[in-house]
Structure 1
């Protein structure tokens, strides 16, 4: 039954956002759409928003309510802090509503609502009320008229405005919009003392990048005038049908969260107009508040709209190069009146021609025939690019024009350069077809393989005919076939001649495949198989014995005799360890090291260290996977501010400095060949990688100190740094767990280069970098497409990735993966298996193209790339690994000319988080077992099995043990798993492989049509596709067309209700305080070195040198948050999208 939509009686304004350090924006995006269609004006801020940002926005926007989602923990502190801050700022009337699925427990919902939060919606509320029902309830609670103005005690309205009292400013603008008579009683236009405050009008076509441009102009204004204040009025259109409006300009703005900036979003509240009819009132209020500059930004306009000129002293018209034929320019009225024109998105095709045409049109329209067209105030800009020279020139020209026209006191000292805006291309324009070229290359390989198979099949037919008529088996030679011992008949001679003629069509390699086939089969029949890995000979038993005393082959080969069948199988399948690696990368699995990963991350580094030692106890290989808390994921330091404090050590480990990393991995020899560390971190990955590498280096320094009996000497040096200066020395918090021998803790608070000779340290560092094994996720493209932990601008983040890879090549880091190109999070966001695989491989090839464009050798960086997939239950997941390996190998070998090691696609796989349900949670282990079976049969390189209770809480030791047992039972007990290529030869597996491979190549072509991966990201193609597929799945799940046992069918007698966890594992107060103390002690001890290193990384970034090389030094003394802030200033912050 369709739910009735509540109709608000008042103009309701609602601020929507996802909480700080929380990238889960799918839910709030759905909610803000429904809120808007219910007739509200929605000020949407996007994800990762601090309480202060949200509260300040709500007060500036005079909102009726704030609607938040919080899926990343810390919600108790977040919502309470929001309530307290609203009360403190005199805005306690603003309602607070929120939701967080099952993350917010029923007891916590009650506690928050008792505290004063208006409503926290639970999953049960969603089921009972439905989405529209929840929104109806929320809007009804927020449906109240604009409040009266309460002035600060002892002040009149004009004094309050001069003091820039935000509540007064905001309430007056609301009164003008909603209660005009009351506004006019309070505010007298004639009493505005300083009517000379300049107003800059900014207008332009929809999608021209006006909001991004305003943000860049504001950022430059704040730098240029450290004492001055700026106000923004941003107008967006109202929907004629519902009266709702999406006021979305704030989402694009990073620089407005500043006490010197005031911003107000207005809805037009009428159709077909670019401005609200209350704009003039808002401007006069801001003039009375004595702002130094007011910017008025319109919604997108058509060719004939010039409304903004009535309200501004100077005007900027923003357009893009894509305006059609030059004659279209004659129709744009604003080109007659605009003082300055910006052609934004100047990286688009035809930008230089557009610049020329617009300059000429401007010259004609303004009758400036005596001035060179090149001197017209028309600027090519790329506002999305950090520190864009064209935007710098535009900013200076605007300020100069404002001063010229109004005499405002804005004497700009902003330095500009004369170069033109030029896109810093990640992928050179000539290479944008790379994905379709790969698709064409792979299809060409397949077509040739098919043709060659047919030739081989015909040759085999002739071969068998000769055998039949001669009565002898012809001998295969390097050049053809021979019949020994008898005189050839005429027919045999004709057949031999036909054979030789046909064989000319067969590739010599393919003839070799045929002639050596029997030898290959026999190698696997022999009891022992030997092969080489990096010049080291490895011998493997080829069979295992069953309890019934049968010899079970580890690798089973097809019993084909016909050459065409053999050739097709070798060219498309082949044995594990041989091109195209469909069945696996190595001839046999590594003995004594199952692909099990030990996953941990909770509380402080000590708690996670204890968990690592627990889960790896008795395991021959230590494969540690690290989850970080959201404070760390967003490159921040732990702190007492409640919206940060609540998230310290929750849903991941808190790491903010080198000492944290040393404690986290203490007791594990990070240079041992059986130890590998995986770090699930993206935005701040280079900093965490620096912490890890330095921790590993210092472990080996510690070994050197012990081997050379230098403990006393080193101890005295550390004592001189700390105790002798009255500083608290860093320590491991609590007892060491069983299995932790303390390795890595001797040098807490110092680094090896402080206590050892420079030459000794340099040698240890060099050897360590060549030894460490592991992976850092660092996949920034996937973050932008699916997961939202981007912190830097995309171009800068990619540059950091390239710098890491370059450092790895220069320092012989051979065993550590510089990136884990991840499909897992794409799948978790809702993508189906084909989309997951296609987007992930496309991202991988984008990194290949980027690194090649930087001059790196594919054989040098290829081995440092790894992949990470999710494994669901869909049929396509049975072949996800083999298709990935096959596509990658064909492209790397045939198109890029890479060597065999670079052709090998190595991947980690994790069972699906989406398939863990909060109903009948015991059934989750059944799903996980089936997914693990898929992964092991498909020869994954490492595997993580999720715990059954992860759907409702952080997994317990019991559930983690069960999850690991799933893998161990398959690997140790399941008979068929003793064979290492069990799915090869299956008709359905071969059919699925071909279908999925073809579907992925088709997706490559679709991405190419949109300008490659980065071009598609600009139009949010990947995000939209993921969301559509997620919605399709959720719809089928909801209506029961897609059966899920214990969720929508086969329910228990109680209806399979959502399970609420008995206990939730959260970081303790002691752990949080210890982390904050660690950071504060670091700053005390290293204050001088910190500043030097922060300055150095900024200089290195500006001079286009390798930033990661500088980070290796900076991470010895600086905290994570310090480095993030320093890099923001030279690389730009990530700009959110709607």
Structure 2
């Protein structure tokens, strides 16, 4: 296939790129922004989860030609229209808007948006016709115009009043060498001379964390000085070959959204400079605007670059401990000129020595030998940590200097901020844990090989005894057998001897085993319609001790270590692994869907999809970019009352009920809502059982005096018994005695079954629903597990360590498995460092994988179980229960295509077959129409039927170990296992999981694999039936759904009404609740315990906002 010609823009085209609000799907926009850069554009990339207001403000401050947005989470109509309206309101209608969202934006919606004024919404069919470069060419050509026209000339008064559009246009005029520049230069120079602005220069090596450090400084300035105005200029390098540039500093900065901050990103427009050639004029404009402080950040510099000193009143040099030998410091010119040196990322091994080396070099350079090293202005910082003590120490010293030299700060009285308690997540001495696991497994395999050779010799010698009658020869053989037996060990010999007995057990009519001291007896055979006795577990037919030992050590029977073929001896015949994902609209609508899915099922397995507003921890509200997303692509849950309505009619404490919740960033709050819903259900049962209704009714009436009670909207679904709705708006603790309530609470917590996803590492690497700073979020994960241990919550998984979203972001099956297991072992190491016992928390860990059609997916569960079991047993000395890896499978969403959607069920069926044959513990099969809409009842029924037909009708599925003994499965298992272990070693080389994340290794690898797949798909090298080959007579266009399921205006309005009512009813509790959270964070106690306390009286958004203040917001990555 010929390469598309790249469009060559005539002007410097600047474009803002982002994913829409509450949308973490950034794989596509990352591909697009890369192609935009290579097409010569300067791209200001904001990353995922960006509001319309943020993007419009950025576009105006950056004076861009266009905005390019991806939107995959619904609400696109409101989002794009609101953006257009806001640009119009800001007199910036010249900025063009482009967008895309795969099949989620329907053709008629695209047409409506085009008519409204959106420049272009790209559809999958556009991609097929135009190609990726073709779409970018179209976008860039439409945006290729000059912005420095006579239409808008900035006025002096506007610049002085800090009008951001005027400041931006003035900078653009200078940056583009416009003929208009001389007309405004004199006036701006005059204004600048009268300015009191103070310029703080920040420079340093690439990757030192300058943007994060600057963001932390800005946050402190804004927090301490209510009237301060801050100007920020960040410079990034241009590519010499294309002229394009990635202006990526904004993505790392959370504080600049404040109205007191103006920021401009600039490209050097020369590849060998750290500052733009127009930086002098840019600073003139900023000074003319009279910002109290101007922060100038350069691109990453080399050892001899000191350009920033010429432009700043005070300069900082930011570096990391990884500078090599101390002699390298002598080559860094900035250590001669910098007023402060920041040694960032000081949590790394050797950072204390590095700090001392830098202090010594600074002392030598400045000839400050009369002062101790500790007095050198060199600070060890960890700017990625919220409220870091090192940053606070520097900030305090900076304020002392500013008080003497910068007019705004003359009257300031800086107060030293109390730092948050700093803690290392993984102790430095444990940093090699992944390679230790891979080395241990390889050593085990070598030992198995050696032992199996010895076993074969013993086996052969035993067989030889039958051939010889001479007693001397027989005696020699027996001596040899004895010698070899001592070498091989009793445990191996015992396993070999018991092997035959186990085989015989499988030949009997029934097989018995024990689970938690309870004897279980199951039939060994299934009788087919032909009368054949089909073995439920088919044991191997081997006689060679070598083959038997290798099989026992690497495979073994189902339910036996290393659990390669399954963690249980037999499946439960009364409980299929079906667990269907559901969530749409209001809690009431999803409650109806849950009852529909559970109808006629022996056990209740509810799997909850939340809308994007909930996924990002916010409350529903009227603002258009939020309003459009309420209840779309998931259920809206903003309070404990929503959780009660959502799961009403199901006894959440029943042993046959299990609830899974796909929620990550705000998982602590949503989990607390769920647990309280379960507790209050049991309080309701207690009240009715003990005939306390009239007494409780009076208490409830008293609580709601002059207040409005919440309600369940609409009729109850068929089979709903009303359970869970009696205590809407109140807690069981409000109406029962403390003693009774605590007894019910403890009993409920010990019984409740289910899973909360809560996997923060995966979120940072792939899915992007992190909302809190990573360190703070991981602490809350560990706090949840600690709470589970303390409250004996043994049947609920505190985390679902997820590879599914890693795969959905573009990773291949090996990368998905390797990253997921690596994340799992990282949690193990972190929880151990917190003092938890491995056998207290390992049983609360579960896993979640995607299943595609690639060959490696056939063995993903086998490999995961084997690696986990061996690591748990031999490295962590864990017990049998902890060694058993439990995992959920969801068929691949990425393999659902908007063309020929009927073919999707075929793909899903094959993926389900992989999962069932590999003995997954639970399974969700996607509906065929999910590529274009929220699933309908008809499509969901078909998806459930896929599983039921395999489990109930497919004859081979009656056998529970169909993969064992296959040559290709054995080869694939070994191949994938070694690939995973090799990936472990690569991650270790990058500082283990957390170090690799800092270098964006996982994110980069996922993006590369995503681009590879998309390219192969586009060129047709990877055939996809009905998409790029075997097209129908119409060319297999994207199919328009017959029914589009979206939340209704009534549902959205009801959700807004209910959450506002909840806040109003509990407003008197807000201050006390906030005080509880503040106190717990200050004392470094269990945050989840505090959330359990306040969740009864605070909404999701209220808790989220308070925790942002206490623990910091997530800082995005590329």
Pairwise TM-score range, normalised by the shorter structure: over 0.9
Per-residue deviation, 1:140: 2.3
Name the residue aligned to 1:524: 506
Superposed, 1:241-390 pairs within 5 Å as 241-390=241-390
CA shift, 1:192, in A, is: 4.2
Contact preservation (8 Å) 1:359, 1:376: yes
**Contact 1:396–1:412 (Cα < 8 Å) also in 2:** no
Q: Once the two structures are superposed, what CA deviation does each residue of 1:547-597 show, in whole Å capped at 9, x if it has no partner?
A: 222222211111222333322222221111111111111111112100001
C-alpha deviation, 1:398, in angstroms = 1.9
Residue deviations 1:617-664 (CA, integer Å, cap 9, x gap): 000111111001111111111111101011000000011110000000
Q: Do residues 450 (structure 1) and 430 (structure 2) align?
A: no
Shift, 1:363, TM fit = 2.2
What is the rounded CA distance, in whole Å, between the counterparts of 1:491 and 1:175 in structure 2?
101
Q: Is the 8 A contact 1:314 1:405 kept in 2?
A: no
In the other structure, the counterpart of 1:676 is: 658
Q: For residues 423 and 442 of structure 2, what CA distance do their matches in structure 1 show?
A: 32
The reply on whether 1:596 has 2:597 as its aligned counterpart is no
Q: Indicate yes or no: 2:405 matched with 1:425.
A: no
Tell me how far apart the structure 2 counterparts of residues 328 and 834 of structure 1 sit (CA, whole Å): 40
Other-structure match for 2:673? 691
Please give the residue correspondences for 1:31-50 in structure 2 after superposition, counting only pairs within 5 Å: 31-50=32-51
CA distance in 2, matches of 1:505, 1:766: 52
Counterpart of 1:111 in structure 2 is 112
How far the C-alpha of 1:224 sits from its partner, in A, is 1.3
User: Could you report, residue by residue, the CA deviation over 1:661-696 in whole angstroms, capped at 9, with x for unpaired residues?
Assistant: 000000011011111001111111111110100000
Distance 2:413 2:1098 in 1: 32
Consecutive unaligned residues of structure 2, counting only runs of 5 or more, are none
2:218 alignment partner in structure 1: 218
Are positions 1:566 and 2:566 aligned together? no
Distance 1:11 1:1068 in 2: 43
Mapped pair 1:1102 → 2:1103 = no
Does 1:616 find its partner at 2:598? yes
Match of 2:934 in 1: 954
In the alignment, which residue of structure 1 is the partner of 2:790?
A: 810
Residue matched to 1:606: 588
Tell me, yes or no, if the aligned pair for 1:224 and 1:413 is still in contact at 8 Å: no
- Separation (CA, whole Å) in 1 of partners of 2:928 and 2:254: 40
The answer as to whether partners of 2:648 and 2:722 remain within 8 angstroms in 1 is yes
SS in 1 for 2:255: coil
Contact 2:236/2:247 (<8 A) preserved: yes
2:881 equivalent in structure 1: 901
Q: What is the match of residue 737 of structure 1?
A: 717
Shift, 1:298, TM fit: 1.5
Moved more, 579-588 or 88-97: 88-97
Q: Write out per-residue CA displacement over residues 513-552 of structure 1, whole angstroms, 9 at most, x where no aligned residue.
A: 2222232122222222222222222221222222222222
Write the distance in 2 (CA, Å) between the matches of 1:409 and 1:995. Answer: 64
Deviation of 1:1102 after TM superposition, in Å, equals: 2.2
Distance (Å, rounded) in 2 between the aligned partners of 1:834 and 1:410? 59
CA distance in 2, matches of 1:324, 1:436: 24
**Counterpart Cα distance in 1 of 2:1029 and 2:181:** 59
Between stretches 750-759 and 1095-1104, larger displacement belongs to 1095-1104
Q: How does 1:3-22 map to 2 (within 5 A)?
A: 3-22=4-23
Contact 2:196 2:292 in 1 (8 A): no
Shift in Å, 1:1048? 2.3
1:477 alignment counterpart = none
Residue aligning to 2:229 = 229
State the 1:286 CA deviation.
2.4
What CA distance in whole angstroms lies between the structure 1 residues aligned with 2:475 and 2:339? 90
Structure 1 CA distance for aligned equivalents of residues 43 and 897 of structure 2: 32
Structure 1 distance, partners of 2:708, 2:1084, is: 38
Kindly provide the CA deviation profile for residues 460-503 of structure 1, in whole angstroms up to 9, marking residues without a partner as x.
Answer: 22222324446xxxxxxxxxxxxxxxxx9333333323222221
- Say which SS state the counterpart of residue 233 (structure 1) adopts: strand
Relative distance call for 1:261 and 1:314 in structure 2 (3 A) is: same
Task: Within 5 Å, give how 1:1054-1093 maps onto structure 2.
Answer: 1054-1093=1034-1073
RMSD: 1.9
**Partners of 2:100 and 2:121 within 8 A in 1:** yes
1:178 counterpart residue number: 176
What CA distance in whole angstroms lies between the structure 2 residues aligned with 1:393 and 1:752?
A: 47
Deviation at 1:744, TM superposition (A): 0.4
Inter-partner Cα distance in structure 2 for 1:565 and 1:60: 70
Counterpart selection for 1:553 from 535, 539, 544? 535
Residue 631, structure 1, aligned to residue 613, structure 2: yes
TM-score (norm 1): 0.96
**In structure 2, what is the Cα distance between the partners aligned to 1:491 and 1:313?**
96
Aligned partner of 2:562 in structure 1 is 580
Residue 478 of structure 1 corresponds to none
- List per-residue Cα deviations over 1:55-114 (Å, max 9, x = no partner): 111111111211111111111000111111111122122111111111111111111111
Q: Decide whether aligned partners of structure 1 residues 188 and 1047 sit closer, same or farther in structure 2, where only a CA change above 3 A counts.
A: closer
Distance 1:520 1:1089, change over 3 A: same
CA contact (8 A) 2:893 2:926 kept: yes
- Distance in 1 separating the partners of 2:810 and 2:178: 47
Show CA shifts across 1:293-329 (max 9, x none): 1111122222222222222211112122222333332
CA contact (8 A) 2:208 2:319 kept: yes
CA shift digits 1:696-737 (9 cap, x unpaired): 000000110010011111111111111x22x11011010000
Displacement of 1:136 in angstroms is: 2.3
- 1:159: how far off? 3.1
- SS at 2:342 equivalent: strand
Q: How does 1:919-998 map to 2 (within 5 A)?
A: 919-998=899-978
Q: Describe the SS at the equivalent of 2:197.
A: coil
Match of residue 86 from structure 2: 85
Question: Following the alignment from structure 1 to structure 2, what is the Cα–Cα distance between the partners of residues 530 and 166?
Answer: 76
- Distance in 2 (CA, whole Å) between partners of 1:530 and 1:768 is 32
Instruction: For 2:993 and 2:36, locate their aligned partners in 1 and report how far apart those are by CA, in whole Å.
Output: 32
What residue is the counterpart of 1:914 in the other structure? 894
Q: Deviations over 1:413-466 (max 9, x none)?
A: 4433799x9963211110111111111211222222222222222222222232
Match of 2:139 in 1: 138
Aligned residue pairs, count: 1115
Q: What residue is the counterpart of 1:644 in the other structure?
A: 626
Could you say which residue in structure 1 is the equivalent of 2:155?
157
- 1:239 equivalent in structure 2: 239
Alignment partner of 1:805: what SS? helix
Tell me how far 1:1019 sits from its aligned partner.
1.3
Name which of 541, 566, 571 aligns with 2:523: 541
- Correspondence for 2:24: 23
Secondary structure at 1:538's aligned position in 2?
Answer: strand
d(CA) in 1 for partners of 2:145, 2:530:
79
Secondary structure in 2 aligned to 1:505?
A: helix
The answer as to whether partners of 1:233 and 1:297 remain within 8 angstroms in 2 is: yes
What's the CA shift for 1:150?
7.2
Listed as ranges, the gaps of 5+ residues in structure 1 are 471-487
State the Cα distance separating 1:859 from its structure 2 match: 0.7
Q: Is the 8 A contact 2:192 2:290 kept in 1?
A: no
- Distance apart, 1:897 and its partner CA: 0.7
Q: Is the 8 A contact 2:104 2:931 kept in 1?
A: no
Worse-superposed segment, 966-975 or 322-331 = 322-331
* TM-score, with structure 2 as normaliser: 0.97
What do the CA deviations read for 1:972-1004 (whole angstroms, capped 9, x no partner)?
Answer: 111111111122122222222122212211211
Task: Tell me the alpha carbon deviations over residues 854-883 of structure 1, each in whole angstroms, 9 at most, x when there is no partner.
Answer: 111111111101111111112211111111
Give the whole-Å Cα distance in 1 for the aligned partners of 2:238 and 2:967.
57
Q: 1:769 to 1:188 in 2, by over 3 A?
A: closer
- Out of 829, 836, 840, the residue aligned to residue 860 of structure 1 is 840
2:205–2:318 contact (8 Å) kept in structure 1: yes
Residue 260 of structure 1: how far off its partner (Å): 0.7
| Distance across 2 between alignment mates of 1:1129 and 1:284 | 35
In terms of mean alpha carbon deviation, does 275-284 or 997-1006 score higher? 275-284
Hey, what's the Cα distance between the residues in 1 that align with 2:193 and 2:461? 103
Tell me if the contact between 1:347 and 1:423 (Cα under 8 Å) persists in the aligned partners.
no
SS of 2:409 mapped into structure 1: coil
After superposition, the Cα gap between the structure-2 partners of 1:1047 and 1:6, relative to the gap in structure 1 and judged at 3 Å, is closer
- Give secondary structure in 2 for the equivalent of 1:263: strand
